[in-house]
Structure 1
């Protein structure tokens, strides 16, 4: 929806402009559709890892808890978005920034909750709250630390987020972790549901336009859901039960799952806050460049970072996970050319409405794990691709290649073989086996201490002769 009849070119580039309501409402809902599945997926993954999610033996008993986590994901994504669009003192960029539950923290949360059930959640939410306040604090000096987080570091971190999570997509598509010991795990039927989602999503992304392309993952999951129904993978009894169990309306409960100080959780969330803050800086810059053709101001960058942290901390008090700006909505603003923050405010109100209606979460809860797996493969694959795209801006000299190689190898290696550090203290072991944190830490430290003099040296010995091909470019074919 980029019809210039919505406003003049000057109005479309103005964050304070409000289109007519009949145009602003569908534009706002369009923003929600672009991020909806990505926003609720972290809650589903964490619940599944803890043992009360899809297909687990505790699934029936854990139904209210999982529905509540999904509900809070929607509610506090909407509230955090209002912090960005409307603002509150220094909090908020007052730009069309859509907030949502962050993928970046999933590799931190999974080791904390793995197989421990609801009892593991107090430590997680303790980390969310403390990490949120720390994230807000970063807003006071975010401009001064950007030098320590160049594309080499941020690209590596984003790539690692995707790489540490792709396993989840494969497991879901095959039938889910609880089904691993069952004959149907990895069956053609399970994979067929995931593949339907993948193919429909790809078809819409590449051959459709407008709302269909923007909502490709949502539509892909809906089509996969219908396919699963036809194939008998969804029982109507399960749907009616989910609908009946959910209350008509429910408000967030303070400390629903409790609160606990865990060194591993607090350190992990605080360290990941730096990565999330840098991601937000990139999104704010992308919005101002793509929507208004200008650079973001220091006040906008600081305000956006404050909103990230405050939104995360408040969500943690009520059982919500960390929030961050959503990059897919940055692309949507560039595509539509509509910079209005009030359009995004309407989308935020729609998210809040959905978050107060548990039946929305109950319906999401009935999606077969194999169908969700198809969507997760696409989403996490795109995270990896986004990281690779960021790495294309790196000058691949020997220094940068060494930093990348060491950081990736150690981080991913410890993730794949956690027993390699089994004798470390519990807190340190949880941080090291996240994969993401050791990679990020090593990359930042090496980038700061290794001399730039290496930049001019030949790279043949470590790159197979493919040296001297600029930033992200390929060798000539002639």
Structure 2
């Protein structure tokens, strides 16, 4: 929706400019559509992992609806922290906040099969992790040296690899169906492939908002097919309330070593991602570099948004990269446009029926969508790794970090003799890989990189 009638070129690059309302509202809704699926998916995954269930027969099913609500509500609140700001908090740029995928591999082991009781531990980690993230804003510029593309690219790739199993399980029928005749049935895979095919077709053969919202439209197509096949039930929608407010300490707060350490370490990754998003927004929307004040304010808002979310039973928030591309596409830099989108999210988050309708989406449909989304996470990591100078030193760092991180994730039983807290952190795969990569990158001498070629097993060569 890039249009000269929206404003002059100078106005379009000004974050403080407000387009005419008739243009600003659709632009704001565009931002919501671009992030909507990714925003509610983590809540569904974590609720499912905890055992809340996907049907009305589950006594904990209302908790899933509540988590979906809070995902929308606090994504909107955190976005307002960014666009409007509170003192030094917020970049005052058109940054859209979204529930973060990055924390899912840390969260699943904390709640797996433990029901509502485990959510207090999760929220304790979200809350303290958010506070730690906020504190990172004080010196974010000084720690960036420890997180080059080799480290960040590896971590993002590991996040995607940790999640792809979830996508396959959902497409096949979901974790509760494992071992049953229904699991992996042709019907389940057919519905999932409808989502994948429609998403790919829109992504590569259309332009504008259809391309940006390809996953959302793909899910809608899969939903229609699933409905026609009798896989959709609306029994819970009528039972959902019309209006409900966030409930402070809904799940309570409980602090464990695994929860707190895991969330604090992942806050580093989230903070670096936010720095990249802020830089992308200012470059793509205004043709300039981000200021230190903007980067610091964005990090503060990330942390505050996450901490507040944890107090009300929501998941961690971070800046959403896909909306960075949307700003470049529309050419509209206005933070007030994104504020309108945030208000829309907050309103949706106050209406449980919206969450109930979202919850009617069959898990197989969601599986098709997350296969695409999680695959894109891996692809984003590989893209970041393309900026790495693949000399012998960097190849060794990457090889060891990937081998140990992915290996422990695939074979958690190898650490069965460790204390439970350490085991949860180590078998996530992401944290050991990140720590190994960071430490080796800091301690291995750069002289290794001066060796321009070195024979590597299998005939490969590392070169500068």
TM-score by length of 2: 0.98
Q: Quick check: 1:6–1:19 contact (8 Å CA) kept in 2?
A: yes
Indicate the SS of the match to 2:313: coil
Task: Report if the CA contact (8 A) 1:175-1:370 is conserved.
Answer: yes
**Structure 2 match to 1:181:** 179
SS of the equivalent of 1:245 reads coil
Matched, 1:160 2:168: no
* 1:59–1:100 distance in 2 versus 1, CA, 3 Å: farther
Q: Which residue of 2 aligns with 1:474?
A: none
| Structure-1 separation of matches of 2:273 and 2:439 | 19
Instruction: Tell whether the 8 Å contact from 1:52 to 1:59 is kept in structure 2 after alignment.
Output: no
Structure 2 residue aligned with 1:49: 49
Instruction: List per-residue Cα deviations over 1:319-373 (Å, max 9, x = no partner).
Output: 0110000000001111111100000000000000110011010001110000000
TM-superposed CA distance for 1:62, in Å, is: 1.7
Cα deviation, residue 184, structure 1: 1.3
User: Of residues 221, 224, 230 in structure 1, which corresponds to 2:222?
Assistant: 224
The residue correspondences of 1:315-354 to structure 2 (distance < 5 A) are 315-354=309-348
For residue 403 of structure 1, the aligned residue among 372, 397, 407 is: 397
Q: Distance in 1 between matches of 2:57 and 2:104?
A: 20
- Choose 44-53 or 322-331, whichever is displaced more: 44-53
Q: Where does residue 126 of structure 2 map in the other structure?
A: 128
Q: Distance in 2 between matches of 1:21 and 1:53?
A: 42
State yes or no: 1:295 paired with 2:293. Answer: no
Residue from 60, 69, 75 that aligns with 2:73? 75
Equivalent residues in 2 for 1:55-66, closer than 5 Å? 60-66=58-64
Q: Distance in 2 between matches of 1:63 and 1:168?
A: 20
Q: Following the alignment from structure 1 to structure 2, what is the Cα–Cα distance between the partners of residues 468 and 268? A: 33
C-alpha distance in 1 between matches for 2:462 and 2:444: 20
Q: SS of 1:243's equivalent?
A: coil
Aligned to 2:21: 21
**Cα distance in 2 for residues equivalent to 1:264 and 1:372:** 29
Aligned to 2:94: 96
CA contact (8 A) 2:157 2:380 kept: yes
* Separation (CA, whole Å) in 1 of partners of 2:64 and 2:463: 49
Could you tell me whether the CA contact under 8 Å between 1:458 and 1:467 is conserved in 2? no
Report the alpha carbon displacement of residue 54 of structure 1 after superposing the two structures with TM: 2.5
CA contact (8 A) 1:44 1:53 kept: no
2:13/2:334 contact within 8 Å kept: yes
> How many Å apart are 1:211 and its aligned residue?
1.6
5+ residue gaps in structure 1? 471-478
> Could you tell me which residue of structure 2 aligns to residue 7 of structure 1?
7
User: What is the CA-CA distance between 1:60 and the residue it aligns to?
Assistant: 2.6
Match of 1:415 in 2: 409
Residue in 2 aligned with 1:374? 368
Following superposition, the deviation at residue 422 of structure 1 comes to: 0.5
1:243-322 to 2 correspondences below 5 Å: 243-322=237-316
Distance 2:305 2:168 in 1: 31
User: Cα offset for 1:469?
Assistant: 6.3
CA–CA separation in structure 2 for the residues paired with 1:4 and 1:379 = 33
* Gap runs ≥5 in structure 2: none
Go from structure 1 to structure 2 and tell me whether the alpha carbon gap of 1:468 and 1:123 turns closer, same or farther (over 3 Å shift): closer
Residue 33 (structure 1) aligned with residue 33 (structure 2): yes
| Counterpart Cα distance in 2 of 1:463 and 1:378 | 33
CA RMSD in angstroms comes to: 1.2
Secondary structure at the counterpart of residue 455 of structure 2: helix
The aligned runs of 1:354-365 (5 Å cut-off) are 354-365=348-359
**Cα shift at 1:101:** 0.4
Alignment of 1:102-113 (within 5 A): 102-113=100-111
Structure 1: how far apart are the matches of 2:453 and 2:257?
Answer: 41
- Give the SS at the match of 2:98: strand
The CA distance in 2 between the partners of 1:25 and 1:464, in whole Å, is: 57
Pairwise CA distance, 1:208 = 1.2
Distance in 2, Cα, partners of 1:358 & 1:199 = 31
Structure 1 CA distance for aligned equivalents of residues 456 and 422 of structure 2? 32
SS in 2 for 1:324: strand
Residues 452 and 463 in structure 2, CA contact (< 8 A), matched pair in contact too: no
